Amino acid sequence: MLTAKRILLIIGGGIAAYKTLDLIRRLQRAGASVTPVLTRAGAEFVTPLSVAALANAPVHQDLFDLTAEAEMGHIQLSRSADLIVVAPATADLMAKMAQGRADDLASTLLLATDTPVLIAPAMNVRMWTHPATQRNLATLTADGILTIGPDEGDMACGEHGPGRMAEPEAILAAIDAALAEGPLKGRHILVTSGPTHEPIDPVRYIANRSSGQQGTALAAALRDLGARVSFVTGPATTPPPPGVAVIRVESARDMLAAVEAALPADAAIFTAAVADWRVANAAGQKMKKQAGKPLPVLEFAENPDILATISRHAQRPGLVVGFAAETENVIEHAQAKRARKGCDWIVANDVSPATGIMGGAENAVHLITEDSVEDWPRLPKAEVARRLAQRIAKDLT
């Protein structure tokens, strides 16, 4: 897939910069050429000599290089690549990208380009979870920037959590996906996945048994057909696939906000098992057992209906697909749901405990449209995803 592809690699300033040396080697083995750009902070972690030696190309560092800029070098650099990769994408680089700043070579290249951009964030866990970084991430995702990672694990600073840069092999897979050709090339598809968690108090929540496997498989299948995928996921046990823009959420209200922020899209596929209700009187502190005291009473409020909201949204995608997890009268309930919600298709399945489908590796679905009901056999979830992605591609092309 990467033979003769041109990658502009921007190396940011973080300890994860050392991983880019392995990434350069992997890209060249896959047939790609690499043009490296090293930020001033990045040069504190890897040397220009080591980067140039592995890339077999000169390293670009200075916006005011007289020789290069006599020919408007930053414009040429920004538009001569097939893909721009930022790894590590530090909090500072992400902020510059989101705000449209251009005060060094890397940020100027990113602002002056119409080439697709993939970022691999890497930073301290508190920097990653800070509201400012998450706002910047949402802006970049809405702008069409692809992301890979970050992973969760031990940090160089001694802390643990999300913020580690994705491993080189995962970044390579994301690059491969970003450059894939297929019937959905140029299409933006939104996929929701996983459960939602609705808090009872700071340490307890209401959830369901969804693993996120089907949503993850579908996002990967759409990516493989060339789509740009925005993947809005609740706290699923299945990790998201590489090569898609990942937006992590917790509650149903978080998910609706993230979905609306990701619009417009050509299609929206709602595989997430969203909680119908939330606790209206969630406690601000951990609820304690108290001898002789009455048991706490949970009061419930209805969560927003994400599928119905987007089906009637001013920026409604051309194709809206819902999922219906039922335990009885599967087809009848799903047909009624499709009409009630206003979506185009419903993918219905029986999640009774005896089926093993909820949280399992297989699925047996019925594809329900306005005119027909298709009964698919029990298949691995990856195959269900492949078939559904092909149907979506046929509808959109």
CA angle 224, 226, 228 (to 5 degrees): 105
Which position among 157, 280, 339, 373 bears the catalytic label?
157
The answer on whether 64 is annotated among ligand-binding residues is no
The answer on whether 307 is annotated among ligand-binding residues is yes
CA angle 141, 309, 316 (to 5 degrees): 60
Are 8 and 83 in contact by the 8 Å Cβ rule? The answer is: yes
Residue 343 a catalytic site member: no
Count the Cβ atoms, other than its own, within 10 Å of residue 290: 9
Are 240 and 246 in contact by the 8 Å Cβ rule? The answer is: yes
Q: Is 56 exposed, middle or buried (0-12, 13-18, 19+ CB in 10 A)?
A: exposed
Written as one letter, the residue type at 226 is: G
Residue showing tokens 């995608």: 317
The answer on whether 7 is annotated among ligand-binding residues is no
The answer on whether 394 is annotated among ligand-binding residues is no
- What six digits make up the tokens of 367? 């594809």
Query: Beta 365-368 vs 373-375: how paired, if at all?
Result: antiparallel
Sign of CA dihedral 122, 128, 132, 137: positive
The answer on whether 206 is annotated among ligand-binding residues is no
The answer on whether 286 is annotated among ligand-binding residues is yes
The answer on whether 19 is annotated among ligand-binding residues is no
- What six digits make up the tokens of 127? 């920097």
The answer on whether 289 is annotated among ligand-binding residues is no
The answer on whether 137 is annotated among ligand-binding residues is no
The residues that are catalytic are 157
Would you list which residues are annotated within the binding site for CTP?
A: 276, 286, 304-307, 323, 337, 341
